[in-house]
Amino acid sequence: MTQKHVQAPRTRQDCEALDRADPLAGMRARFALPDGVIYLDGHSLGPATHGALERLARAAGEEWRRGLIRSWNDAGWFDLPARAGARLARLVGVAPGEVTVTDSVSVNLFKLAVAGLRVLGSRTVMVQSDEFPTDQSIAAGIADAGLGELKRLEPKDALAAFGAYRGVIIRSAVNYRTGEAADIDAWEQMAHQSGNLIVWDLSHATGVLDLRLGQRGAKLAAGCSYKFLNGGPGAPAFVYARADIAQQLQSPILGWFGQKDQFDFGASYEAKDGAARFATGTPPVLSLSALDAALDAFDGVDLAQTSAKARALGDLVIMRTEAMGLKTISPGEAARRGGHVSVRHEHGYAVVQALIARGIIPDFRAPDAIRFGVAPLYVRHVDVWDAMDTLSDVLATRAWDRPDFHARAAVT
């Protein structure tokens, strides 16, 4: 899994030079980062932006408090899902009307997978055995509800197995544990050849990788907005449905925000055009307002540069942790990696707690993975260098070996 780290910084001074030359350096000022903290957990929860905090205060203190129900029109609440969706469309590389903001990732994966099975006339729902647990549970739930039959695919031969069946697969664009980026082109080519559909889970990919979904033939996807998109805890998710296939699909959850002429309050149901047909209930306006403002952080950002920087920072994590004797479960080849790197340590949870106590915030995934997120808009090379220095000291001094660092909290 290791690679030759070409032109990797060898000193903190090298890192400072890279940060001075970084075309994304100015983006960091858009984030409300706390003093004395190096935040390497943006792959789990992105930090607040100044704009999102201001917008949230305005949405609650002015639009809700003073505007009351009038704000659905006067403050543009009603159009927020489509407006934010159009901004997200640029980040995933599709047309504006092909994305809407609605519900959670879990609900959206369910809706897209079931709709895909119906349009294919298939009952086979597939998922890899190393997928994020929710994705596996959604696939299993579809089968338990009698809407399909579950096939779990082993990662080493998943692509070939996918082509051998007829159905829908739920597939992460970036693996939550290892950070491995899927070969979207190869998977979509196989889907085209086999007549299958892929529902991409973009949760660990959007906002860090240059996805170009439209160019690569992707038809369906869902993703969360609180990781690299910095929408805030529990911010609503989004749906992508390519225009041509969207019109063939019917959501299995028919909610009034997915209905044409919803304020006619008719008894019959006619779905909206495009991705908007996958909307269901009333959108969470406060969190959606914060998300819309958080997306300002991506204004003027070249996504090719975010991908390149994230992978360079990941290379630095791998180089430094390998020197400490830690093994990575992430791809060493930068092009096969997303925005986080995972390394193994037998006492990984305690190590993470020791780092947090020193102002370095990564996270832990059982049984032994320490994940370092390298969100390119605000993480600097010097941040990674300093975090790795702290990690080296924590390991060398066994500072992690304290009872309070071993005590598991509810959220790890």
Q: Which of 298, 325, 344 is the last residue of a domain?
A: 298
Residues 280 and 385 reside in one and the same domain:
no
Residues 77 and 162 reside in one and the same domain:
yes
Identify which of 389, 313, 312, 293 has the alpha carbon closest to the alpha carbon of residue 32.
293
In the chain (412 residues long), the average pLDDT of successive 10-residue segments reads 58 98 98 98 98 98 98 98 98 97 98 98 97 98 98 97 97 98 98 98 98 98 98 98 97 97 94 97 98 98 98 98 98 97 98 98 97 98 98 98 97 90
Q: Given 55, 87, 227, 311, which residue is catalytic?
A: 227
pLDDT at 21: 97
The whole-angstrom distance between residue 160's C-alpha and the CA centroid of its chain comes to 26
Q: Given 201, 292, 315, 383, which residue is catalytic?
A: 201
Into how many domains does the chain fold? 2
Q: Given 110, 162, 226, 405, which residue is catalytic?
A: 226
Q: Given 31, 39, 110, 132, which residue is catalytic?
A: 132
Identify which of 211, 207, 139 has the alpha carbon closest to the alpha carbon of residue 173.
211
The whole-angstrom distance between residue 225's C-alpha and the CA centroid of its chain comes to 7
Residues 278 and 398 reside in one and the same domain:
no
Question: Is residue 132 annotated as a catalytic residue, yes or no?
Answer: yes
Q: Can you read off the two tokens belonging to residue 143?
A: 């089968």
Residues 171 and 105 reside in one and the same domain:
yes
Report the number of secondary-structure helices (H) and strands (E) in the chain: 14, 13
Residues 324 and 220 reside in one and the same domain:
no
User: How many angstroms separate the CA atoms of 178 and 329, rounded?
Assistant: 6
Note the pTM of the prediction, 2 decimals: 0.96
**CATH code of residue 395:** 3.90.1150.10
Q: Which domain range does residue 384 map to?
A: 12-30+302-406
Residues 292 and 323 reside in one and the same domain:
no
**Could you write out the DSSP letters of every residue in 149-207?**
EEEEE-GGGHHHHHHHS-EEEEEESB-TTT-BBP-HHHHHHHHHHHT-EEEEE-TTTTT
42 is a domain residue: no
24 is a domain residue: yes
Question: Is residue 165 annotated as a catalytic residue, yes or no?
Answer: no
Question: Is residue 201 annotated as a catalytic residue, yes or no?
Answer: yes
